Amino acid sequence: MPGGSVEDCFGLPRGLPYRILKKIIESPLLRKKFRKELELYRKEGGWRDEWFEDFLNTKVPLAQICPMVYLTASLAALEVLKLVTGRLKPVIAPKHWCITASGASIREFRPPAVGSKLRLLGKLARA
């Protein structure tokens, strides 16, 4: 992947199997443990407090607002065309398109610092 791996962009260790990545996304234990880091998405996405709490307790899935999904998919297609044609420079990690209700911009992604919390991944892998 140009600019780095998906794992690098999201601050995860490389080479984890899909089942572990799925557990990370769906784990209420990890959602609560990483609450501080997840606050970024509450702020950027404009999530309501009640919804955020339900998300941490795995009562609701990750949010997807259809117009945002369609716009993001269109931008992803544009980036693929840039790569295939080689005519324009693509937006590559750690830079990304940031889509919000008030506009779109290119920003640099800084993954949450997970440091010592990664020990939980080992416990989760054995679960």
- Give the tens place of pLDDT for each residue, 7-33: 665 666 677 788 887 777 788 887 888
For 43, the token pair is: 């702020």
Domain boundaries, the chain: 1-62+115-127, 65-111
- Give the tens place of pLDDT for each residue, 58-82: 898 877 666 677 777 888 889 889 9
Task: Report residue 50's pLDDT band, with 50, 70 and 90 as the boundaries.
Answer: very high
- For the cut 80, the answer to whether the pLDDT of residue 108 exceeds it is yes
Question: What torsion do the CA atoms of 69, 35, 61, 27 make, to the nearest 10 degrees?
Answer: 130
- Give the pLDDT score at 104: 83
